[in-house]
Structures are given as structure tokens and as C-alpha cells.
Amino acid sequence: MMGEKTDGRAVAQQVTDVLRDRFDGAFRDLSPDASLASQGLDSVDVLDALAALEQHFGIALDTEDLVGIECLRDLENLVNAKLKGQASIEKEGT
């Protein structure tokens, strides 16, 4: 299961799916480079999205992680980075 979550393409699709689920099916035509604001997300919505992503992927995201997050691709990259960091920590503990 962890391998599926850390594959870049799988993560991208899962991020989109989490956002669609969280925001009641919105983002049907969501481009990875479309701004989140152009999709109608305000800062509170982005915080809700981060909470949903944390729960789905089992990662911890801080409000500082929001710096520079402007589009779906930024969220995907953030999740990928957190998952890779988590995987390297798990390896060190083994």
C-alpha cells in the first residue's frame, strides 16, 4: 500500500481525488497548473484540503507548508516531498 501512495502519478491522482471528495465533486476539469483560487478555493478551503490530505496520506502538514502553494501541482509536490521524507525516516528507524 505504501508503494502505491508514494508513486508520483498515483499521488497526483489521489490528491485530485481527495480534493474532489472534500469539495463535493468539484474540480472535474482541474488542470495541475490551474490556480487554486481560480477553482474557488480560499485560504480556509486550502486548510481544509490540507487536513484531508493529512488524513488520507497519514502525513503531517504545517501552515508553513502553505507558502508557495498556488496550484494543484504544488499540492502534489508537497505531498510527494512529505511522503519521501517519511519514507526516509522509516528507513533510518529500521
Domains of the chain by residue range = 2-93
| Torsion sign, CA atoms 55, 59, 63, 69 | negative
The predicted structure's pLDDT at residue 26: 66
The predicted structure's pLDDT at residue 9: 73
The predicted structure's pLDDT at residue 3: 43
Segments in the chain below pLDDT 70: 1-8, 25-29, 86-94
CATH for the stretch 2-93: 1.10.1200.10
Closest CA to 72 of 8, 5, 12, 1: 12
Question: What are the residues whose beta carbons fall under 8 Å from the beta carbon of 51, sequence distance 6 or more?
Answer: none
Question: What are the residues whose beta carbons fall under 8 Å from the beta carbon of 72, sequence distance 6 or more?
Answer: 15, 16, 19, 27, 30, 31, 32, 33, 34, 36
**DSSP-derived secondary structure letter, 30:** -
